[in-house]
Amino acid sequence: MPSTDSKREKAREVVDILEEISMLLNTQLDRTQLSLCVSLIENGVNPEALATAIKELRRETQDLQHQDAAVSE
């Protein structure tokens, strides 16, 4: 049975690889966000639904930023 340190090291390696892929694909997800996504998927969240939710949240955030900028002008 793998030790706790071994499991942690493997988890770090996975996140390192995911971070590299994320950067190549320009997902704009940091290590913490990637780790949370992996955890959600491991716990049964549908990956496509998660991607859709992230895209929608980003769109809403951009809309709010544009509204705030318009009000400030």
Angle (deg, nearest 10), helices 31-42 and 47-72: 140
Chain segment 7-26, per-residue pLDDT in tens: 889 888 988 999 999 999 99
For the chain, give the mean pLDDT: 90
Q: Which residues of 47-61 are buried (b: 16+ CB within 10 A; e: fewer)?
A: eeeeeeeeeeeeeee
Chain segment 39-61, per-residue pLDDT in tens: 999 999 999 999 999 999 999 99
pLDDT at 66: 85
For the whole model, what pTM was predicted? 0.74
Q: So where are the chain's domains?
A: 4-72
